[in-house]
Structure 1
Amino acid sequence: MTGRPRVLVIAEAANPEWVSVPLVGWSLARALAAVADTHLVTQVRNRDAILRAGLVEGRDFTAIDSEVLAAPAWKLAQVLRMGEGKGWTMVQALNALSYPWFERLVWRRFGAGIARGDWDVVHRVTPLSPTVPSPLAARVAGTGVPFVLGPLNGGVPWPEGFDAERRREREWLSYLRGAYKALPGRDATLRHAAVILAGSRHTASEIPARYRDKVIYLPENGIDPARFSRAAYAPAEGPLRAAFVGRLVPYKGADMLIEAAAPLLAAGRMRLDIVGDGPMGHALRAQAGPTGGVTFHGWLAHGAVQDVLAGAHLLAFPSIREFGGGVVLEAMALGVPPLVVDYAGPGELVVPGTGLTVPCSTRAGIVAALRAQLTGLCADRSGLADLGHAARARVAGRFTWARKAAQVAEIYDWVRGDRRGPAPQPMAE
């Protein structure tokens, strides 16, 4: 088929003023508007921010008011998390219970138009979680309109040896996470999807074999060059400067980083900037001590985060359970090479020649490997500039939102065609 496709983009979470999943939903939806005639369908809590971004309600987007179920579920999740930003699996479980109401309202509003042929493709961008089924999938497929699902990501297993961190994160439901595969609606969602976008190779591996022929690997995160416009400028002389950016929670690994860097910090051979805050903030400040080698910035505005990152020789980010790893891409976009644990999202983003990795082992093993890498860099950091240049080129070539939208456009062309050939695999290494 020729011409720009007409695409109804379903992104319950899409907000230009938030971070994480809502920013992913917004960014991909806006990028898709450059390659297709799109209409965004989102939840009413995002309306004001989208209006401030310049979109016109009714023409560019529709806000669905599902608060009768969504609001109580969100409040309950915050109570169970005790205001500390933990228990992500609990939040997803509650969302899985309330989200179908949102899709029911979407069908009520747009079902007749879909059946009438007003849209060439319906694409559900969020929720990203593979545990949340889509009641829309079967209804849309029943009209003959292709239903695109994803990117889906999440459910990365906790690595062995980190059960204490798992409990501190209040991830009690993660022990039962595999049960989602038996939930009503999961198989129907996958069966009726024309294409399943997998945001990680782990998520792709959990799709049943009978549906693997329509799974396409497309990492969830992307970069807006207008938002990440700085270039690395770390000084050639002086101590090694490393930066950590993220919530100060157990699985992010800031405590392992401080422990690994402690002798280098004490000797004045390294400085560490920590951007972010969270329930571990007080403990991490106490762990760092009064040496002056660690600067805690707290939460910073976006531009200020870029300033800190661009002034570092590397991003040190030893998260042990990161689904996407958006901050890794952000550092790479600035030309700052990352040092990450080779596991889950960051391990997929940082390919050889674009950054440094340490094996995902025990806590003691990770600390020792980090210390070895940092010690080596304190002695000779001459190779970091080449890594940074390669990292920046990788992001520019594969991970801008515009590039992702172009890749999704290929998928739209495929699902609108006869589909007798294999599905495109634009992200294959």
Structure 2
Amino acid sequence: MQERRIKALVIAEAANPEWVSVPLVGWSLANALRAVADVHIVTQIRNRDAFLRAGLVEGRDFTAIDSEKLAAPLWKLAERLSMGKGVGWTMKTAVTTLGYGYFERLVWRRFGAAIRAGDYDIVHRVTPLTPTANSLIAPRCKRAGVPFVMGPLNGGVPWPAGFDSERRREKEWLSYIRGAYKAMPGRGATLAAASAIICGSEHTLSEIPRRLQGKCVWLPENAIDPARFSLTAPQPGTLPLRGCFIGRLVPYKGADMAIEAALPLLRSGALTLDIIGDGPQAGDLHALVAREGVDAAVTFHGWMEHHEVQSVAAQSQLLVFPSVREFGGGVVLEAMALGVVPVIVDYAGPGELVEEGTGLRIPLGRRAEIVAGLRTCLQGLAADPSVLPGMARAAQARVMRDFTWPAKAAQVERIWRAVLAGQPLPQELPRRR
């Protein structure tokens, strides 16, 4: 007998198909869940027009909550306090999160009666992703007898040793005391009231009190849309190799480390490198390439629309991405989906996504150690590029099996059904130990 479709209220304050980062994750998961359950999405008013352009019907498929009275001034304040465009993300998150409680109050005012009446089998808060945002709806759902699921939660990955100057350049002053959020009123009540907590990283899972970890599931936050990443990179298993770096050009992302590590291969003609992205480090990177005389081997593409990135990335054999502070690592999954083998630092999000046989992991260390490890790895690949085609096929197969948005929706639905049946939560993916 076919199981009845679950009726779910999905709260995704940040959800927008036309943006990137957290809003794209919020939209992609919330929208994918509509294929496996009867879902009504609750989002913030700023996303309304994008939802309509995507074909959703207001009132039937989604509701837009207008919390701009508080959200707009808090965003302006966050911009001022973060002291620069594209930096100070911990400050931005902290300040804007102050207004999230108001958003949930408006959500409860609109949907509280329906939740208490049992119109929904389950309530799932997808965004905000930050574990610092408590929920007043969670304990109210528990009192109403309706399971509340939250996540994927992610964020706050510690800055590794030796990168304090990068931390300061990112204006991450608040990150020094980020752990204070654990003492905030409401955190204990939120976690205790949740029926399931989806943790997008091992770090976030480690921050959940041990007594509550039985209700936690590790499930990386990111996935890919197969329609957006539909190409397959050539992997002839011969030289020359082509690599790409994709990301914001800031020190902790490591574009400079990628170039420095690759210098011998860039000079010899064994490797060319495409740099996709822009940021405050762009001028220094151009100067580095000119100073080292490898202009002909390195191409700077600047900022590109998200949907255009694959046109360049799919011409590469390698994603050279030595970032030392990635929460999710969506770019790694996107590269793997294209059959581009990731070469990453074994830390945080990327380190959890790349398993043996699907990419190469460089041990985390100080900057010089990462550059040396990456250089050794790249030189090894240049000496034997025949290993790349098999790794590329394995990477692509893994993403298409476990990390598409339809796969992610199916994983979440199984968690929902376990919650509703009072059964142990399924651990959807094997974790690295």
TM-score bracket for this pair, using the shorter chain length:
over 0.9
Q: Equivalent of 1:373, from 364, 372, 377?
A: 377
Write the letter of the residue equivalent to 2:95. L
**Distance in 1, Cα, partners of 2:286 & 2:77:** 31
Tell me the equivalent position of 1:184.
185
Tell me the equivalent position of 1:9.
10
**Distance in 2, Cα, partners of 1:298 & 1:205:** 37
- Is it true that 1:296 corresponds to 2:304 in the alignment? no
Tell me the equivalent position of 2:311.
307
- Is it true that 1:423 corresponds to 2:425 in the alignment? yes
- Is it true that 1:383 corresponds to 2:384 in the alignment? no
Q: Write out per-residue CA displacement over residues 134-170 of structure 1, whole angstroms, 9 at most, x where no aligned residue.
A: 1111111111100001000111111111111111111
- Is it true that 1:43 corresponds to 2:44 in the alignment? yes
Structure 1 range deviating more: 1-10 or 168-177? 1-10
Tell me the equivalent position of 2:401.
397
Cα shift at 1:237: 5.0
> 1:266-415 counterparts in 2 under 5 A?
266-289=267-290, 291-415=295-419
**Distance in 1, Cα, partners of 2:381 & 2:229:** 25
Q: Is the 8 A contact 1:234 1:310 kept in 2?
A: no
Write the letter of the residue equivalent to 1:378. A
Write the letter of the residue equivalent to 2:211. R
Structure 1's 235 and 296: CA in aligned 2 closer, same or farther, altered over 3 A? farther
Cα shift at 1:84: 2.5
Q: Secondary structure at the match of 1:241?
A: strand
**Distance in 1, Cα, partners of 2:333 & 2:325:** 16
> 1:43-62 counterparts in 2 under 5 A?
43-62=44-63
**Distance in 2, Cα, partners of 1:313 & 1:200:** 27
Write the letter of the residue equivalent to 1:423. L
**Distance in 2, Cα, partners of 1:103 & 1:29:** 17
Write the letter of the residue equivalent to 1:341. V
- Is it true that 1:146 corresponds to 2:150 in the alignment? no
Write the letter of the residue equivalent to 1:63. A
**Distance in 2, Cα, partners of 1:236 & 1:355:** 15
Q: Secondary structure at the match of 1:229?
A: coil
C-alpha RMSD over aligned residues: 1.3
Cα shift at 1:109: 0.6
Q: Give the alignment's TM-score, normalised by structure 2.
A: 0.96
Q: Secondary structure at the match of 2:60?
A: coil
**Distance in 2, Cα, partners of 1:124 & 1:102:** 12
**Distance in 2, Cα, partners of 1:179 & 1:396:** 39
**Distance in 2, Cα, partners of 1:304 & 1:21:** 19
Cα shift at 1:428: 2.7
Q: Write out per-residue CA displacement over residues 277-335 of structure 1, whole angstroms, 9 at most, x where no aligned residue.
A: 11111111111115222111011233431121111011011110100000000000111
Q: Secondary structure at the match of 2:309?
A: helix
Q: Is the 8 A contact 2:238 2:386 kept in 1?
A: no
Structure 1 range deviating more: 408-417 or 145-154? 408-417
Cα shift at 1:236: 5.3
Write the letter of the residue equivalent to 1:228. F
**Distance in 1, Cα, partners of 2:188 & 2:156:** 17
Q: Secondary structure at the match of 1:383?
A: helix
Q: Is the 8 A contact 2:235 2:392 kept in 1?
A: no
Q: Which runs of 4+ in 1 moved over 3 A?
A: 234-238
Q: Is the 8 A contact 2:248 2:279 kept in 1?
A: yes
Q: Secondary structure at the match of 1:123?
A: strand
Q: Give the alignment's TM-score, normalised by structure 1.
A: 0.97
- Is it true that 1:162 corresponds to 2:163 in the alignment? yes
**Distance in 1, Cα, partners of 2:314 & 2:257:** 23
Q: Write out per-residue CA displacement over residues 47-92 of structure 1, whole angstroms, 9 at most, x where no aligned residue.
A: 1111100001111000111111111111122223344301111111
**Distance in 2, Cα, partners of 1:379 & 1:203:** 39
Q: Write out per-residue CA displacement over residues 3-37 of structure 1, whole angstroms, 9 at most, x where no aligned residue.
A: 11110000000000000000000000011001110
Q: Secondary structure at the match of 1:382?
A: helix
Tell me the equivalent position of 2:70.
69
Write the letter of the residue equivalent to 2:424. P
Q: Is the 8 A contact 2:40 2:60 kept in 1?
A: yes
Q: Is the 8 A contact 1:84 1:278 kept in 2?
A: no
Q: Is the 8 A contact 2:320 2:344 kept in 1?
A: yes
Aligned length: 427
Q: Is the 8 A contact 1:84 1:279 kept in 2?
A: no
Tell me the equivalent position of 2:207.
206
**Distance in 2, Cα, partners of 1:301 & 1:212:** 39
Structure 2 gaps, min length 5: none
- Between the aligned residues of both structures, percent identity stands at 65
Structure 1's 385 and 234: CA in aligned 2 closer, same or farther, altered over 3 A? closer
Q: Is the 8 A contact 1:234 1:311 kept in 2?
A: no
